Amino acid sequence: MSYNIRTHSYVVGGLGVTGQACVRFLLDNGASVKAFDTRMLTDAQRDAMALQVDIASSPLSTHYFDGIDTLILSPGLSPDIPEAQLARRAGVEVIGDVELFARINDKPCVGITGSNGKTTVTLLLTHLLNACGVNAIEAGNVGRPVLETLNANADVVVLELSSFQLETTSSLRLQGATILNLSDDHLDRHGSLADYAKAKQRIFMHCDTSIVWRDGNVAPTKALADTIEYGLTETDIGFGLTGSQITFNAEPVLNTRDITLVGTHNILNVMAALGLCHVLGVDVKRAASAVSTFVSAPHRCIEIATRNGVRYIDDSKATNVGATIAAIEGLAPVVSGNIILIAGGDAKGADLSALAPQLIQHVSAVIALGKDRDAFVSLHPATHLVSTMHEAVNAASCIAKEGDVVLLSPACASIDMFSNYIQRADVFARAVMEVVAA
């Protein structure tokens, strides 16, 4: 490896899953390393981490970064926190784990980001590549720390990259990359949609080929060697849709009836994944033949029950406005009755008003709960406010009739009421099961 870890001294900031992985990787490679966490860690928490390094808690001393070359900041911590500012004043470089990975990695990589759908596309692409004989491994925001792939037996690394990861990354080389979509999200961190978009655009800094949604609002701000476009219209170039057939350069490659994922937004996700397959030299038709065997990640537009002709769909991972709009637009063409939406939570400073046109056009009623539930009242005349998820499901089931869909797609984070979106989905599922069993 051209980048010699042993010649640098490091501080790891933040000791979540990513931070702990960084510490272990650096120690395994003989680096000098210490760490800090912005939380006041208990002795039990420190013992559970089992990290053989000095761990400090904020605030740090003025001389904490003396003799340090690099601060590796966990993605959950903003580059503007006081500790990072202190590091910069001491002449210390501030990077993230993806940037460290980029300096060491020698495997081909592709990158996926966007406000919504990136985990689905990451997992789908990994599935398609493996089905075609390419040994692929997914990492990044999808869960596996990127540094854990460096010694893995893999031909390709498929990276899901968040805006938080990208804003501390500057040298990542990618054979192909895509920004699936862009909508208000994480504005409490980035401050504005423009700054959020700027962070996402960093995925194209050292990218050979971009995969671009033809009708979307995101394209590379710099000229790349190649671009592959996709969309839901008929076209002779790139990916398009002719009737029920996905085409590539006007040649049919997949019938949409063979896509197990729900909604038209997932047709776009499939196209993006197929485009990245093409970039990696995999035959698109061969890759398309494996789409039908893909099992979606949980809590992303997954039908969990049906009772009296009413379908209950879990889209708890929809933690921003764009994700909920995508779910509604994706379901509307295939629902014979009405959509009843369960939404609400912590909006993270986002403007929810962009939901209004979709709610008015496609949703018959909104059941709102959580910290920012009142914001939904002005968005739809048939908004019902509740206090718990069980109340929400019961209210929705009383309204629903045969042919309707009850959709949990909150457009908000879950942290005001639940540990995470997974717990929110579990509570939703239990409430649905009670209704179904009644």
Task: Give residue-wise pLDDT tens across range 356-405.
Answer: 999 999 999 999 999 999 999 999 999 999 999 999 999 999 999 999 99
307 contacts 435 by C-beta, under 8 angstroms: yes
As beta bridge partners, residue 57 has 37
Q: Which residues are catalytic?
A: 118, 141, 186
Cα 118 from Cα 35, distance rounded (Å): 30
pLDDT of 386 reads 98
The pTM of this model reads 0.79
> To 10 degrees, what angle do helices 321-331 and 264-279 make?
110
Torsion of CA 314, 315, 317, 321, to 10 degrees: -150
- Kindly report the backbone phi and psi dihedral angles of residue 144, in degrees, each rounded to the nearest multiple of 5, phi listed first: -80, 120
pLDDT of 186 reads 58
Which residues of the chain are modeled with pLDDT < 70? 1, 184-191
Q: From edge to edge, which strands make up the β-sheet containing 310-314?
A: 302-307, 310-314, 405-408, 339-343, 363-368, 383-385
pLDDT of 188 reads 64
